Amino acid sequence: MLGRLRARIATGGRADTRLPAGSGLLALGGSGSTRLAGRGEERIDTPLLLAAAALVLLGVVMVYSASITLADSPRYKVTPTHFLMRHLFAIAVATAAAVAAFSVPMARWQRLAPLAFGVALVLLAVVLIPGVGTGALGARRWITLAVFNLQPSELMKVASVLYAASFTVRKQDYMHSLKRGFLPIGLVMLVVGGMLQLQPDLGAFVVIVAIALGILFLGGLNGRLFFAITVLLALGLAAIIWLFPYRRERIFAYLDPWAAEHVLNKGYQLTHSLIAFGRGEWLGVGLGGSVEKLHYLTEAHTDFVLAVIAEELGLMAVLAVIFAFYWLTRRAFEIGRQAVALERTFAGLVAQGIGIWLGVQSFINIGVASGLLPTKGLTLPLVSYGGSAMLSTVVAVGLLLRVDLENRVLMRGGRA
């Protein structure tokens, strides 16, 4: 049954989605496509590009709005536009990196996947070296470079997508086997998880595990094995939360954030996020009119930027953001299904892995800000302040556009 489900996921619910080369609809690439200069009939997915760009531009406005008051804080001692300028710089770097990633064929990315994963793994180890890795609030997650701070766990998300897809293709005949199909990548992910826990960064670990396990499942991992691994991971996650008092306290605070012992402690961010949602009502109090960003909601421009959106622009804006991420996730899976139908398994799994990544991380961030999930530090992809997060997600969009472009070329009878 699970095998048939994966087959339907891979082909969009049809036995075969391949159409003859030169098919009119596919040759046009859809009504929302546009030409690439100098590439003849090849096209890119304009709606996908515009949706991602809209989220980035919304982030620029809201990061500036949420961070402008930090200039008055003695903790930062910065100008009102400090975080805006750094955010714009991160977007510029990310865009350049995405263009570079887009220009590389997926066949070459398949060969580079183990190397990319190895580099990301080394960076995860480097960040733990005293004097090299830097941190804040008890976490050591960044490497200070000349122009910005690099967070290796964000680069590991891109590397995990590529490596898991490459591994699944190489081990396609052994996906039913625990020893040869799952154990090798399982041990690698265990090493990654150990390094992330030393930082600590449980949120990144959850996203990376979801990416790897999701790609393995879509690539043909045995159904019973997938279920057993999922149960074990859930038990392991529960044990990690229970063994660390501060994580356990977050769960208790989530269950009753307004209790006297939580409201000024582990429930502080959640209660103020909920206040922001309540003040915004349907249409918001107006851009720049947030009260919670006035040093009440901690780090409002990063993990809780959605709360500022809710307060200033209202529930309608939040619903628009949710729809945008739903559409991006769905589009990523559509691109992946088409690639698999064209017998480009690696490219298809990369696209679907990016869909899993965007879907899971945006769901966690939105769930935390709205009180649906316990508090966890994860950025809202493409929107929140954070150079490394912006770099990794924009590069992921570039890879997604590359997979789609090669699909369109092949469907016209060309070569990717």
Is the predicted pLDDT of residue 294 greater than 60, yes or no?
yes
What is the identity of the amino acid at 184? P
Lowest mean pLDDT among 49-53, 132-136, 194-198, 350-354: 132-136
Provide the b/e sequence for 252-273 (b: ≥16 CB within 10 Å). Answer: bbbeebeeeebbeebbbbbbbb
Task: Give a yes or no: residue 164 inside a domain.
Answer: yes
- Split at pLDDT 50, 70, 90, the class of 266 is confident
Is the pLDDT higher at 301 or at 136?
A: 301
pLDDT at 84: 95
Task: Give a yes or no: residue 105 inside a domain.
Answer: yes
Give the domain range for residue 233: 2-411
Lowest mean pLDDT among 130-144, 258-272, 290-304: 130-144
Q: Span 162-175, mean pLDDT?
A: 92
pLDDT at 12: 47
Contact 410, 18 (CB under 8 A): no
Query: What is the percent of the chain with per-residue pLDDT over 70, rounded to a whole number?
Result: 89
Is the predicted pLDDT of residue 371 greater than 80, yes or no?
yes
Task: Give a yes or no: residue 295 inside a domain.
Answer: yes
Contact 157, 353 (CB under 8 A): no
What is the identity of the amino acid at 324? A
The pTM for the full model equals 0.88
- The values of phi and psi at residue 345, to 5°, are -65, -45
Task: Give a yes or no: residue 259 inside a domain.
Answer: yes
Is the pLDDT higher at 347 or at 234?
A: 347
Contact 359, 325 (CB under 8 A): yes
Is the predicted pLDDT of residue 406 greater than 50, yes or no?
yes
Is the predicted pLDDT of residue 375 greater than 80, yes or no?
yes
Q: Span 297-314, mean pLDDT?
A: 93
Q: Which helix (H) or strand (E) holds 211?
A: helix 202-218
Is the pLDDT higher at 239 or at 356?
A: 356
- Split at pLDDT 50, 70, 90, the class of 86 is very high
Is the predicted pLDDT of residue 34 greater than 60, yes or no?
no
Give pLDDT tens digits for 311-333.
999 999 999 999 999 999 999 99
Is the predicted pLDDT of residue 402 greater than 90, yes or no?
yes
pLDDT at 137: 62
Task: Give a yes or no: residue 406 inside a domain.
Answer: yes
pLDDT at 6: 52
pLDDT at 31: 34
- Split at pLDDT 50, 70, 90, the class of 1 is very low
Q: What is the mean pLDDT of the chain?
A: 86
Query: Residue 41: which of 56, 25, 27 has the closest Cα?
Result: 27
Is the pLDDT higher at 316 or at 231?
A: 316
Task: Return the top range by mean pLDDT from 24-33, 135-144, 390-399.
Answer: 390-399
- Give the helix ranges, DSSP H, for 34-75: 46-67
Tokens of 373: 């999930």
Query: Residue 156: which of 92, 201, 186, 107 has the closest Cα?
Result: 201
Give how far the C-alpha of residue 71 lies from the chain's centroid of Cα atoms, to the nearest Å.
29
Number of domains in the chain: 1
Task: Give a yes or no: residue 110 inside a domain.
Answer: yes
Is the predicted pLDDT of residue 8 greater than 50, yes or no?
no
Task: Give a yes or no: residue 416 inside a domain.
Answer: no
